[in-house]
Structure 1
């Protein structure tokens, strides 16, 4: 929708149009949540949702929405390429929400455009029902909105679009509506130093959590996109040098997560030292046994890393899950990152009291 925002504003100035957006996906799919298509009352179509698989059906829904004014939800699953059913030949599933957008939306669209132009993270929250109510949310938003504002802001903080709500509420609370939170902003980064099976597993988990994942390793033979298909980018460079360059060019911020999984002193000591030297990094962790951690800590001290900086290092990395395989270890690490990010204890919920969700 970001690329079509200006066109949407221009069209809506002259009257209602239908806006169709992908709000949820399962499995392989041609577009990510937030992909948009506009249909005018005259039948003009702008944008694409699936590269041609479901557009004709969505256009029919758009005509219905323009006639009734009520939003609708379409769901498309797998369809045999030789069959007549409407669906995706790639085997995935998508959910498309179609709503009417007109002059009444212009003020909020203009504010959204301004927030994006200013480089401020912002999210457009949309109720996935016939009303299609909108709300703009920012990371500092404090006003409650249908009891989904905290979950929506959490997505915004992570830089990931998604659906919230429609689950169990706290006692005496009203049911929460299902809401699509479309995030406009740069996703938080996860930088993984190393090129091994643990990095491959964590790159998958990190991407699922909405991070923009970078794998960096100086060994060209191992650092290839084919070995790390879930990573957004694979960089051949010394990790410590890469970190410093990214920081100097402004591509590291207070949401950035750095995990050192190299198991090699010549890589991990300078990389950890470089990461701890950047105050803006949110999380710095290093994989290894307690013995490895103790020996590595002494090397870091010898390299001039102060005690106050060492206190920021999460090592041995991960929560106590008795994880052994790379995939289990990735879950352990991701759980610690989420707990740190949310200022949570990481303890089992059945052993603590109080609300499950909190700010």
Structure 2
């Protein structure tokens, strides 16, 4: 969730809003430091973890709406104070914003649109460094058939930038989720343009085209993982042809096929999409753990 553009829109529309930030988290807690919720007169966006903690934070934020710029620091032990089973401790900062803050908010919104950045000492009385902006991985989905459509919808609310490629322009729906870029030219152009750390999930209308895309993606070091829909038999055939074509053995061995996490046997497109979206989340988290450097360079500003 991009926080400052959301606050900017809220101030333009309502003249007031509030933000709840988890500025410190210890032990077992629902959300990590940096989780945020933006509260407006019409509702709220984001979450700091749900339950009693979020209910109380929401009430505190609502109490600050339409009041002069204010900050409230809330320290909570989830077990003794709230009766929640998590058992950890959190420090929340609840801040109100009014129309007079719009210029500063617009500056921060523009900065966030450019990419991730950090601020230190922004909240009075707290010496914390805050990170803003999403570090989103690019996922390339090749194929606009029934599974491709279902997968794109499954990824719609997740923090990924999706490139959806198919050479048949008529195969795409009239509208797509906001995190999706449609490409209906040569799919190999999309492969060549992939940024570092990308994931490829191939499910075109043609096995021959699948093989072409997989071959090109495995040769492109910008792809962290390459996956293709199909059975164990399809995988065996692809492995042989890829090796014969001179693709590095290590890259061929890393090919994901079949796709999706285990334990889901349904052949429904929506079920395959859910299993595959779960696999994409797992791959993304594993990559972030192995290579903790952010996908995009973070800038620090005061």
**2:129 alignment partner in structure 1:** 136
Residues 206-355 of structure 1 mapped to structure 2, 5 A cutoff: 206-222=155-171, 224-226=172-174, 228-229=176-177, 232-244=180-192, 246-247=193-194, 252-254=195-197, 256-320=198-262, 321-343=264-286
What are structure 1's unaligned runs of at least 5 residues? 7-16, 35-57, 73-96, 102-107, 126-130, 139-182, 345-359
Q: Distance in 2 between matches of 1:226 and 1:32?
A: 29
SS at match of 1:282: strand
Contact 1:195–1:216 under 8 Å retained in 2: yes
Deviations 1:179-198 (A, max 9, x none): xxxx4246322210001111
What are structure 2's unaligned runs of at least 5 residues? 9-14, 20-35, 47-60, 74-93, 99-103, 288-302
Report how far residue 289 of structure 1 moved: 0.9
Contact 2:7–2:38 under 8 Å retained in 1: no
SS at match of 2:282: helix
- Please provide the CA RMSD for this pair: 4.5
**Are 1:191 and 2:173 matched, yes or no?**
no
Name the CA shift for 1:271/1:32 in 2 (closer, same or farther; >3 Å): farther
**Are 1:122 and 2:117 matched, yes or no?**
yes
Q: Distance in 1 between matches of 2:225 and 2:210?
A: 15
Report how far residue 337 of structure 1 moved: 2.1
Q: What is the aligned residue count? A: 220
**Are 1:23 and 2:37 matched, yes or no?**
yes
Contact 1:203–1:230 under 8 Å retained in 2: no
Where has structure 1 moved over 6 Å in runs of 4 or more? Answer: 111-115, 131-134
Name the CA shift for 1:124/1:189 in 2 (closer, same or farther; >3 Å): farther
Deviations 1:120-170 (A, max 9, x none): 623679xxxxx99684345xxxxxxxxxxxxxxxxxxxxxxxxxxxxxxxx
Q: TM-score, normalised by structure 1?
A: 0.49
Deviations 1:103-125 (A, max 9, x none): xxxxx99x9799869x6623679
Q: Distance in 2 between matches of 1:328 and 1:240?
A: 28
Contact 1:189–1:212 under 8 Å retained in 2: yes
Q: TM-score, normalised by structure 2?
A: 0.57
Name the CA shift for 1:229/1:287 in 2 (closer, same or farther; >3 Å): same
